[in-house]
Amino acid sequence: MGLGPVMLDLRDTELHQDEIELLRHPLVGGVILFSRNYENPQQLRELTTRIHSIKQPPLLIAVDHEGGRVQRFRYGFTRIPAAGLFGKLHDQNPHKAIEYTENAGWLLASELLAVGVDFSFAPVLDVDTGRSSVIGDRAFHADIDVLTMLARACIKGMKSAGMAAVGKHFPGHGHVREDSHETVPVDNRTYQDIMMNDVMPFERLISSGIAGIMPAHVVYSQIDARPAGFSDIWLKQVLRNQLGFQGVIFSDDINMVGAGTAGNYPDRAKAALAAGCDMVLVCNNQPAAIEVIDTLQIDSQPQTQVRLMRMHANQKQISLSELQNSSEWKQIAREIATLEQTPELDLGDDEVHS
């Protein structure tokens, strides 16, 4: 039995019997965790151990844990600064910014791996245009060269800890003001404009071997009437064929309003997979997840299985307490804490988005 194409979530901090049966379904391949699933590091480690023990190969366990506004686990974890903070540091000291960003990537990944999480949906590769209500300081910078350098450093740090990275939101969410959680954003720019700006960081990091990419629930009206996550033009023609991406394509949450143009939940899942996604996320709506796996019919492809298996943590991890007693963790955690407390770089801590 391989990994199924559906990633779903859990109700709370415990794994209930009905959820165990749900996770045993052959179409389920992963679990995404949220703040409601976290109480403390020990509880989280016990939860992830149980999830991984349900079947073989083990289910993938993921989380949106970027830093800044989007950090699902806080108590007991290092507070990771928003990506934009590293961009501001780069404007003052480029060398230091790259070093600190790589260290932050290592720190983020090491702590998650120590509690049994396989990967985070990070980093954000959107351009900070100042327009997007949902991206904002989740993006590294407005300059695509700086953005790419910092994202590459973050990915390098994550990889050194043993974690694969997932860049989002292809081909770029930064030029639309609307939030795809709440509406269907439309980007009316030309294909050439999007490719020469927003897609460039994705293209460069594909060349560097990024393991996963998540498309946006944004309609790029000059290219396709469908949101990118349901568009074979964007996913198959551009991402796979033109850019040569060989990693995993994860859909964004199909429970979001921005996914509603694809129909009901089974239709959304089917459309995302047909467009080129390898794994579909169904979050914050367990009845919808059940409806999807009860309805969806799809044959597992060997190439997809190879891609998904690469998302598992690839190093044996120590416990979080052992990690936090190490000299490397202490040095880097102090460094990152100092950066976060610098007044001229403090970007605040707003409401969490995914």
* Residue 33, strand partner residues: 63
Per-residue tokens: 1: 């039995």
Q: Tell me which residues are annotated as active site.
A: 181, 252
| DSSP code string of 277-291 | -SBEEE-S-HHHHHH
48 by DSSP, 3-state: which?
A: helix
Angle at 228 between CA 127 and CA 306, to 5 degrees: 95
Report yes or no: 89 and 345 within 8 Å, Cβ to Cβ.
yes
Query: In this structure, which amino acid lies at residue 103?
Result: N
Q: Please give the distance of CA 320 from its chain centroid, rounded to a whole number.
A: 22
Within the chain, strands assigned E span: 6-8, 28-33, 60-63, 65-67, 70-71, 119-120, 166-170, 186-187, 212-215, 219-220, 248-249, 280-282
Report how far apart, in Å, the C-alpha atoms of 111 and of each of 252, 303, 321 are: 24, 30, 10
Polymer length in residues for the chain: 354
What would you report as the CA-atom Rg of the chain, rounded to the nearest whole angstrom? 19
Cβ partners under 8 Å of residue 328, min gap 6: none
Contact between 108 and 158 under an 8 Å Cβ cutoff? The reply is: yes
